[in-house]
């Protein structure tokens, strides 16, 4: 009978110890699983969540960077437009200033021409006054000659009238 109680050529005590050891290992595995594996699982789970959050954060940052890039590119285009607008305004101001300066120069030239014409008129009037003075001097000399020759008043008047006619009425009127 002893031979029958043997399983795989093992005695009963060894089988009991093996079964008891297997049960103890199973309970030890459950206990260690609860104490060690669950925290490791939780750590792995939190690490997976952290990595997922990092990936999501990186994607959000990438989207934000793309949006900022688009915004900066739009601003660069606007800067070119704004620079063109500023240059256009500067050109308009320069043209307005050039027109204003040209107008002022024309006005100054017109004033100078007007002043020159006025001076020419004054010189002409002075010359005419000098001619009139000369005529008066000549008439006085003639009168002195007439008096010296004892000519009567009627002869003197006729001489003055003849002299005036010879010089022309236009000289006296202008």
Say if CB 128 and CB 174 are below 8 A apart: yes
| pLDDT(47) > 60 | yes
Report pTM.
0.37
pLDDT, tens only, 107-119: 999 999 999 999 9
Alpha-carbon gap, residue 74 to 66, rounded angstroms: 12
pLDDT, tens only, 127-149: 988 888 888 888 888 777 766 66
Joined together, the tokens standing for residue 38 give 């669950």
Alpha-carbon gap, residue 99 to 23, rounded angstroms: 109
Joined together, the tokens standing for residue 106 give 């024309």
């Amino acid at each position: 009978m002893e031979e029958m109680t043997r399983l795989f050529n093992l005695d009963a005590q060894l089988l009991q110890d093996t079964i008891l050891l297997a049960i103890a290992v199973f309970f030890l595995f459950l206990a260690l699983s609860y104490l060690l594996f669950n925290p490791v699982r939780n750590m792995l789970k939190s690490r997976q969540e952290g990595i997922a959050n990092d990936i999501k954060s990186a994607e959000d940052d990438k989207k934000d960077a793309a949006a900022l890039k688009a915004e900066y590119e739009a601003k660069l285009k606007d800067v070119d437009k704004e620079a063109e607008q500023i240059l256009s305004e500067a050109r308009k101001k320069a043209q307005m200033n050039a027109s204003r300066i040209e107008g002022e120069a024309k006005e100054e030239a017109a004033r100078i021409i007007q002043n020159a014409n006025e001076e020419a008129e004054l010189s002409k009037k002075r010359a005419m006054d000098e001619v009139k003075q000369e005529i008066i001097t000549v008439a006085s000399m003639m009168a002195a000659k007439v008096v010296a020759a004892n000519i009567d008043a009627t002869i003197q008047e006729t001489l003055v009238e003849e002299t005036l006619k010879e010089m022309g009425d236009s000289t006296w009127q202008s």
